[in-house]
Copies of this chain bind each other. A is one copy, B any other.
Amino acid sequence: MKALILVGGFGTRLRPLTLSVPKPLVDFGNKPMILHQIEALKAIGVTEVVLAINYQPEVMMNFLKDFEAKLGIKITCSQETEPLGTAGPLALARDKLIDDSGEPFFVLNSDVISEYPLKDMIEFHKSHGGEASIMVTKVDEPSKYGVVIMEESTGKVERFVEKPKIFVGNKINAGIYLLNPSVLDRIELRPTSIEKEVFPKIAAEKKLYAMVLSGFWMDIGQPKDYITGLRLYLDSLRKQSSPLLASGTNIIGNVLVDETAKIGEGCLIGPDVAIGPGCVVESGVRLSRCTVMRGVRIKKHACVSGSIIGWHSTVGQWARAENMTILGEDVHVGDEVYSNGGVVLPHKEIKSSILKPEIVM
């Protein structure tokens, strides 16, 4: 079975992290974002994943080589020369997605984190016999999204409503699709939106069905949602009693600590913290609701919350970082410095406090 992951463009919303690596390679829960999806696809028998990209193919290709071997799955790139929207890339990758088996193929949006109940989705798709299945997820504020209106009992999609002003439903497109090869015949090789042009046509022919996503869902393409997404992801690990979660007297709530990371005496870590490979958390450090990426050193008595600390950065002694502070790669916060929402580009030193949210370039 095949799958396409829509990777897309520059990842500007996740800057400054995406100034160092392309977005799919930004770590989430201690592994590259895209690996969560590739592993879920591998687990249900997908043999080939096509990444639809339009930026930095060399970096992606290098990464892929490592993972193709480790995971035992074929990974290729389909590179857009102009941005093709959310449907165009499928036409571009047509030859890779169709084979003689006639099987449907998955399409995933690379920014999405969820439980990936892909096996259930295959069953759902077979049972309704339609041309396309989409996952939908319930949200509190549907007016910000594209709402999917469906027949409750069968899941048959009636229509899509973009950013509805009055309440029409609370289920939105979760960015996970299972499509028959015939869908490709509906897509031209030009910038095309799958939600606005392709799906509405299939829905009008009553061949589009929606399945409500069980478990959590988050679009982690921007820092605020990345942090919320980590909480949801770690919560789902807890529900599965995952051995990956850390335990100990210095751990509160759900915490992920890479086995190569070191944590000192007298720390208090959690809830909702991920500490990456090679990190050193010195003694007396307080971390909550934050991600600490590979190779970071947090010095003694520092306090970090609601923030993302980028690869190989350091946070000084008694420093305080909070309120959506995002440190890019190789950023060094001096001792006793305070950052309230500082967003710092790579290779910088922060010697004086940042009192209100701002970008430091």
Contact partner of A15 (CB less than 8 A), chosen from B9, B343, B345, is: B345
- Contact yes or no, A347 B19, CB < 8 A: no
Contact partner of A347 (CB less than 8 A), chosen from B9, B345, B359, is: B9
Residues of chain A from 161 to 176 with CB closer than 8 A to chain B in the complex: none
Asked if A124 CB lies within 8 Å of chain B CBs, one says: no
Q: In the bound complex, how far is the Cα of B346 from the Cα of A16, in angstroms?
A: 12
Mark each residue of chain A from 4 to 15: 1 if its CB lies under 8 Å from any CB of chain B, else 0: 000001101001
Residues of chain A from 315 to 361 with CB closer than 8 A to chain B in the complex: 343, 345-348, 359, 361
Contact partners of A347 in chain B: CB under 8 A: 9-10, 12
Interface size classification for chain A: 10 to 19
Residues of chain A from 108 to 126 with CB closer than 8 A to chain B in the complex: none
When C-beta atoms are compared, the residue in chain B nearest to A19 turns out to be B19
- Report A151 CB to chain B, min CB distance, Å: 38
Q: In the bound complex, how far is the Cα of B346 from the Cα of A9, in angstroms?
A: 12
Residues of chain A from 135 to 153 with CB closer than 8 A to chain B in the complex: none
Contact partners of A9 in chain B: CB under 8 A: 347
Residues of chain A from 11 to 29 with CB closer than 8 A to chain B in the complex: 12, 15-16, 19
Q: In the bound complex, how far is the Cα of B41 from the Cα of A187, in angstroms?
A: 57
Mark each residue of chain A from 96 to 107: 1 if its CB lies under 8 Å from any CB of chain B, else 0: 000000000000
Contact partners of A346 in chain B: CB under 8 A: 10
Contact partners of A15 in chain B: CB under 8 A: 345, 361
- Report A40 CB to chain B, min CB distance, Å: 29
Contact partners of A348 in chain B: CB under 8 A: 12
Q: In the bound complex, how far is the Cα of B16 from the Cα of A179, in angstroms?
A: 41
Contact partners of A16 in chain B: CB under 8 A: 361
Mark each residue of chain A from 79 to 93: 1 if its CB lies under 8 Å from any CB of chain B, else 0: 000000000000000
When C-beta atoms are compared, the residue in chain B nearest to A349 turns out to be B12
Q: In the bound complex, how far is the Cα of B282 from the Cα of A208, in angstroms?
A: 48
Q: In the bound complex, how far is the Cα of B9 from the Cα of A53, in angstroms?
A: 30
Chain A residues within CB distance 8 Å of chain B? 9-10, 12, 15-16, 19, 343, 345-348, 359, 361
A-B pairs with beta carbons under 8 Å apart, 14 shown: A9-B347, A10-B346, A10-B347, A12-B345, A12-B347, A12-B348, A12-B361, A15-B345, A15-B361, A16-B361, A19-B19, A343-B361, A359-B359, A359-B361
Nearest 4 A/B pairs, CB to CB: A10-B347, A359-B359, A15-B361, A359-B361
Additional pairs, 7, CB under 8 Å, beyond known A10-B346, A15-B345:
A9-B347, A10-B347, A12-B348, A12-B361, A15-B361, A343-B361, A359-B359
